[in-house]
Amino acid sequence: MNIIFLGPPGAGKGTQSKRLEIRYGISQISTGDMLRAEVKAGSDIGREAKALMDAGKLVSDSMIVTMLEARIRQPDCEKGFILDGFPRTVAQAEALDDMLARLQSKIDVVLVLQVDEEALADRIAGRFSCAKCGASYNDASNPTRESGVCDICGSHEFVRRADDNRETVTSRLASYRRETMPLLPYYEASTRVAFVDGMAPIDGVSAQIDGIMTEVE
Ligand code: AP5
Ligand code: ZN
């Protein structure tokens, strides 16, 4: 099963794709997480990506396509994968189609998370995650059960993303509208596309996705 998550920054792509990864035993591939790991490692890719990410701009198609292709060729992706944050441009979607054709594979469903724009900046401003296991939380909608302790691994260390501020969010949203929204007609012409009400509480969003997945399987 190969799934794409489409949605603006803060829509809940990471939250829901991590849940799907556990439920279906297929790998979540987040190009944002991969780039943040490169930044942390201080690699050439990381150095090139950091300034663009901090400004809320997209990194180059060629860099991201090369990175993604290496990732989906890894053995754990043979069972399927969940793409979170890729593709983000029509050029990336075309490169993905070529890649999948070479691997004799295809996308089974594109899940589109729909969230009101006014809610996105608040979600992003409240986001934090566990420094040890990466579990994602939110000050308002998804706090840890015990204050200051990760529900999953018990760690007391949390981090906030460098690009999670209101100025960068405005530019991330503009990139989404300009470069990623054209993917909707692109996929509607060729692939099964399912819309999900991302304004529902996190469990309600998961329930809608479960319903869609039962039809796709
Ligand atoms: P990336 O890391 O992909 O960020 P993004 O697309 O902006 O998405 P987010 O991670 O901000 O949001 P999300 O939808 O995953 O929401 P989440 O589940 O965390 O990309 C970062 C940067 O990397 C880009 O700007 C670009 O520079 C670069 N990049 C990455 N991929 C690229 C590509 N393919 N091409 C070029 N450049 C690329 O949820 C957000 C918050 O809301 C959390 O706190 C969560 O707990 C909470 N929440 C989730 N669901 C709900 C709900 N239903 N109700 C209430 N709160 C909720
Ligand atoms: Zn943790």
Instruction: Based on the residue annotation, tell me whether 178 is a catalytic residue of this protein.
Output: no
Closest ligand to the CA of 149: 2
Pocket of ligand 1 (CB under 6 A): 7, 9-15, 31-32, 35, 52-53, 56-59, 64, 85-86, 88, 92, 123-124, 126-127, 136-138, 141-142, 172, 198, 200-202, 205
CA diameter of the chain: 48
CA distance linking residue 91 with residue 81, whole number of Å: 20
pLDDT more than 90, % of the chain? 95
DSSP of 163-199, one letter per residue? T-SHHHHHHHHHHIIIIITTHHHHHHTTS-EEEEETT
pLDDT digits (tens, 9 = 90+) for 12-65: 999 999 999 999 999 999 999 999 999 999 999 999 999 999 999 999 999 999
First to last CA, the chain: 8
How deeply is 146 buried, as exposed, middle or buried, from its count of CB atoms within 10 A (0-12, 13-18, 19+)? exposed
Q: Rounded mean pLDDT of 81-88? A: 98
Size of the chain in residues: 217
If one counts every other C-beta atom within 10 angstroms of the C-beta of residue 176, the result is: 20
Q: Distance (Å, rounded) from C-alpha 55 to C-alpha 168?
A: 6
* Contact between residue 108 and residue 8 where contact means Cβ atoms under 8 Å apart: no
pLDDT at 106 over 90: yes
pLDDT-derived band at 199, boundaries 50, 70, 90:
very high
How far is Cα 142 from Cα 91, in angstroms, rounded to an integer?
Answer: 35
Q: Which of 59, 86, 128, 139 to mutate to test the pocket of ligand 1 (most atoms within 8 A of CB)?
A: 59
Query: In terms of pTM, does the model score above 0.90?
Result: yes
* Position 208 confidence tier, pLDDT thresholds 50, 70, 90: very high
- In this structure, the number of other CB atoms found within 10 A of the CB of residue 102 comes to 10
- Chain centroid offset of residue 159 CA: 18
136 is in an annotated binding site: yes
12 labelled binding-site residue? yes
CA distance 160 to 126: 9
pLDDT in tens, 145-162: 999 999 999 999 999 999
pLDDT digits (tens, 9 = 90+) for 113-122: 999 999 999 9
How far, in Å, CA of 30 to CA of 4, rounded? Answer: 11
CA of 216 to the centre of ligand 1 (A): 25
What band does 166 get if pLDDT is binned at 50, 70 and 90? confident
- Beta-strand ranges (E) seen in the chain are 2-6, 27-30, 81-84, 109-114, 127-130, 136-138, 158-159, 193-197
Q: Does the structure show a pLDDT above 90 at 134?
A: no
The annotation status of 130 as a binding-site residue, yes or no, is yes
